[in-house]
Amino acid sequence: MTTTTAPKPAPEGSASLRELLQTNDAKRRRTDVTMRVLITAAFVLAMLPLLSLTYTVVSQGIGRLDGYFLMNSMRGVFGGMDAGGIYHAIVGTLQITLFAALISVPIGLLTAIYLVEYGGGKPLAKTVTFLVDVMTGIPSIVAGLFAYALFALLLGPGAKFGFIGSVALSVLMIPVVIRSSEEMLRLVPNELREASLALGVPRWLTILKVVLRTSVAGLTTGVMLAIARVIGETAPLLLTVGVIDSINFNLFEGRMMTLPVYVYRQYAQGLVPCSADDAACIPDINIQRAWAAALTLFLIVMLLNLIGRLVTRWFAPKIR
């Protein structure tokens, strides 16, 4: 005869239980401490470059960053003159990036909606996914060349204006938007789609008002990351938009300056040879301007992320 007994608590009573509760496993404690140290070290290691970068950009750039610098262009500025600013570059960067976003977000979002809601493993969806993967790997200079060549075909060689830059940037942005939106849409539980469909809501309204509404926070984050990814692009803009010293508001005509290109140009010009009797001449003015412009770009990206955060918080589902 076999009897099975359920595990019983030790019979000795509360004293032994108290002892059991207080036993201290030295080996586990050591492992715990070791892992804590390792994880903290890894964190610090990851933070070091970031902090160092932030410190360098801020400390080098803050000196020149003032109202004058933000509100003036480089028109008529030469040599070691204590003048010049980045207004024209800010205008260019904001306009070109905004248009890139206006092109990429609808295309990217609609593609993601197709892939998640309608694609369902169809050959077309598989092809699109494959092409998006390929697009993700395109070097930015190739995107620039593509946009340049496209407009050279349409308008004749040598065309350079802001919108071409937007097209080049959107080539880089679209795959990022598709990928991140796709992930976010897949996170929306199917029950919510079914709940809406079962109320007699057509599919398109279900997607618009339930699926997109539920995932809007994640979608915004994705778009913000995509913008941050392209706003610092230099090579494709140098190729398609060129450089200019004065202010140009027209995205469809004439060259434009952008912040990354500005930084590159100033830095490339290097030190100014000042004559000894010219007291107003600053030898490293170009370098100073480059750092200050870099800091501005840095702040713009931070600001965009902050806005993204606020939007995310605003739209997030609330429990109470």
* 210 Cβ contact partners less than 8 Å away, ≥ 6 residues apart: 188, 192, 193, 195, 196, 201
**Hey, which residues between 210 and 229 contact another protein (CB under 8 A)?**
210, 213-214
- Report CA-CA distances (Å) from 175 to 136, 146, 181, 288: 6, 16, 10, 36
Site residues for another protein, window 183-212 (CB under 8 A)?
189, 191-202, 205-206, 209-210
Closest approach, Cβ 209 to another protein, in A, equals 5
Of 102-141, binders to another protein (CB under 8 A) are 120-121
- Nearest-approach distance from CB 206 to another protein, in angstroms: 7
Candidate ranges 97-105, 132-140, 270-278, 312-320; the one touching another protein (CB under 8 A): 312-320
Applying CB under 8 A, the site for another protein has a residue count of: 26
The number of residues making up the chain comes to 320
In 3D, which of 222, 213, 116 has the Cα closest to residue 175? Answer: 222
Q: Which CB sits closer to another protein, 211 or 297?
A: 211
Minimum distance between the CB of residue 131 and another protein, rounded to whole angstroms? 22
The answer to whether 311 contacts another protein (rule: CB under 8 A) is no
Q: Residue 315, interface with another protein (CB under 8 A)?
A: yes
Q: Which of 192, 190, 67, 178 is nearest to 133 (CA)?
A: 178
Q: Is 24 left (phi over 0), alpha (psi -120 to 50) or beta?
A: beta
Cβ 230 vs Cβ 173: under 8 Å: yes
Q: What is the binding site for another protein (CB under 8 A)? A: 120-121, 189, 191-202, 205-206, 209-210, 213-214, 315, 317-320
